[in-house]
């Protein structure tokens, strides 16, 4: 539902536009609606009372998408599956870095992805997706969507605009209209970059040729909103596992989507029926985490650069997939320079000696932890081929440059010299 420009949603002071890191301290929240509490309290309730029977009727009309005159905030709380004060504050603040009109919070990153696909990809249409993707996304699109009458095709993440357009035309010819172009940039775990602007132009061509414009989605989990803002390059939806950098403390599971109000209304309706919303306590935790996301990610980005440079010169490492190491003349570097605000803090590298050597490295880490997630304050490493991407077919992994010795490294905010020391001693055993 559309929201009025309340004083606590103002984005400027005296003509000066406020930055997201300042707005995170109070945007979307009025202390005097909560007994003057400077921070939003946790609204641990399933159900909200109506002021009157008429208010209840109006709220359900709005929930169904029917317009009502008046201020929708006069009585807009119904049931926590639909909305909750903590969820509304969080969703307001999630729009800030991406400069989106609206945002939605979900119970996990995968619930955000699946809900968006269910809302936007109808039976009889196709999803065209970049490759590689996060393993669960890949399996869902390839394995589950066909059961709902949605077929899929792919293009390499590093494809040129002409190659993406050719893939789109081939998909239309084979399966019918494309409802969604689903991308992940940077890709997990290789950091391959998708040209989001090129994908947006392909969507425009599809609209002219087929009468239907695909919805362009970008999973921005790997870089996060500090390093990459896909809406500004033509994406319709930016999707996140908020578990990762936004949450940042490895203590919650959540997902988010940012986009325009019209598209959010469609996905919100699907969320209402699927029940994939985020609980109030996790919303509260994320609101707290958003206040420091810029500080944490800037530190992690700096640490990642130090670690990547160390690995890049180590004799036991054959390749480091870190965006700042892209060479002039590489189309990927052009995409990085034009569409990314930083190199991120998660990257992969190949250990000489394959899987056995990679396992020896991982088993000898002392400070860096062996775990599959990313984006936390602590540094983590894993072997994607045997964990997060084990369900991706071997031929697909080989095609995208996924070796047996590939290790993914999520760099945290520890002292960088300590991380380098741990890498050095662990590599002695590899």
Integer Cα distance of 283 and 345 in angstroms: 24
| Residue among 362, 375, 344 at smallest CA distance from 407 | 362
Within a 10 A sphere around the Cβ of 322, how many other Cβ atoms?
22
What is the pLDDT at residue 70? Answer: 47
* CA distances (Å), origin 293, targets 67, 138, 163, 246, 408: 36, 28, 36, 6, 22
Q: Helices marked H in 1-143 — which ranges?
A: 20-23, 53-63, 85-98, 109-120, 135-139
Pair 357, 430: CB distance under 8 Å: yes
What is the pLDDT at residue 76? Answer: 76
What is the pLDDT at residue 167? Answer: 98
The C-alpha angle with vertex 103 and arms to 101 and 107, in degrees rounded to 5, equals 175
Pair 290, 27: CB distance under 8 Å: no
Cβ within 8 Å of residue 387, ≥6 positions away: 372
As to burial, measured by CB atoms within 10 angstroms (0-12 exposed, 13-18 middle, 19+ buried), residue 205 is middle
Integer Cα distance of 345 and 377 in angstroms: 11
What is the pLDDT at residue 423? Answer: 98
What is the pLDDT at residue 67? Answer: 56
| Residue among 117, 172, 106 at smallest CA distance from 142 | 117
Q: Helices marked H in 49-195 — which ranges?
A: 53-63, 85-98, 109-120, 135-139, 161-175
Residues of the chain with pLDDT under 50: 1-2, 70-75
What is the pLDDT at residue 214? Answer: 98
* Tally of residues, the chain: 430
Can you give the pTM of this predicted structure?
Answer: 0.92
Integer Cα distance of 139 and 173 in angstroms: 23
* CA distances (Å), origin 215, targets 82, 146, 166, 206: 24, 18, 18, 11
Q: Report how far apart the first and last C-alpha atoms of the chain are (Å, whole number).
A: 55
What is the pLDDT at residue 71? Answer: 47
As to burial, measured by CB atoms within 10 angstroms (0-12 exposed, 13-18 middle, 19+ buried), residue 116 is buried
What is the pLDDT at residue 65? Answer: 64
Domains of the chain are 85-290 (3.40.640.10), 295-427 (3.90.1150.10)
């Amino acid at each position: 539902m559309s929201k009025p420009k309340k004083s606590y949603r103002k984005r400027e002071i005296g003509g000066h536009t406020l930055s997201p890191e300042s707005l995170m301290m109070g945007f979307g929240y009025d202390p005097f609606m909560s007994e003057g509490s400077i921070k939003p309290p946790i609204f641990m309730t399933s159900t909200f009372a109506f002021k009157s029977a008429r208010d209840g009727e109006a709220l359900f009309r709005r929930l169904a998408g029917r317009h009502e005159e008046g201020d929708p905030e006069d009585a807009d709380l119904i049931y926590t599956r639909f909305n909750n004060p903590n969820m509304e504050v969080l969703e307001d603040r999630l729009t800030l870095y991406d400069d989106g009109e609206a945002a939605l919070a979900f119970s996990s990153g995968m619930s955000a992805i699946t809900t968006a696909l269910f809302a936007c990809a109808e039976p009889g249409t196709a999803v065209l997706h970049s490759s590689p993707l996060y393993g669960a996304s890949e399996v869902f699109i390839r394995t589950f969507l066909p059961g709902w009458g949605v077929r899929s095709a792919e293009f390499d993440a590093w494809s040129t605009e002409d190659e993406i357009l050719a893939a789109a035309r081939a998909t239309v010819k084979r399966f019918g209209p494309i409802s969604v172009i689903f991308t992940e940039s940077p890709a997990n775990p290789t950091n391959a970059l998708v040209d989001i602007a090129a994908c947006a132009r392909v969507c425009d061509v599809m609209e002219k040729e087929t009468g239907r414009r695909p919805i362009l989605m970008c999973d921005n989990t790997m870089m996060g909103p500090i390093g990459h803002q896909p809406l500004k390059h033509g994406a319709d939806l930016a999707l996140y596992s908020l578990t990762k950098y936004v949450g940042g403390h490895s203590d919650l599971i959540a997902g988010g989507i940012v986009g325009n109000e019209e598209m959010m209304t469609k996905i919100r309706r699907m969320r209402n029926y699927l029940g994939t919303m985020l609980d109030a306590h996790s919303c509260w935790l994320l609101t707290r985490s958003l206040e420091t996301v810029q500080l944490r990610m800037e530190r992690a980005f700096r640490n990642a650069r130090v670690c990547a440079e160390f690995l890049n010169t180590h004799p036991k490492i054959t390749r480091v997939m870190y965006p700042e190491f892209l060479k002039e003349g590489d189309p990927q570097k052009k995409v990085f320079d034009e569409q990314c605000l930083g190199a991120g803090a998660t990257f992969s590298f190949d250990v000489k000696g394959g899987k056995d050597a990679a396992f020896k490295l991982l088993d000898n880490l002392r400070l860096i932890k062996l775990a599959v997630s990313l984006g936390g304050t602590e540094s983590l490493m894993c072997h994607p081929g045997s964990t997060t991407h084990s369900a991706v077919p071997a031929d697909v992994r080989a095609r995208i440059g996924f070796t047996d010795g590939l290790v993914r490294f999520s760099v945290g905010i520890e002292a960088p010299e300590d991380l380098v020391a741990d890498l050095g001693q662990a590599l002695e055993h590899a």
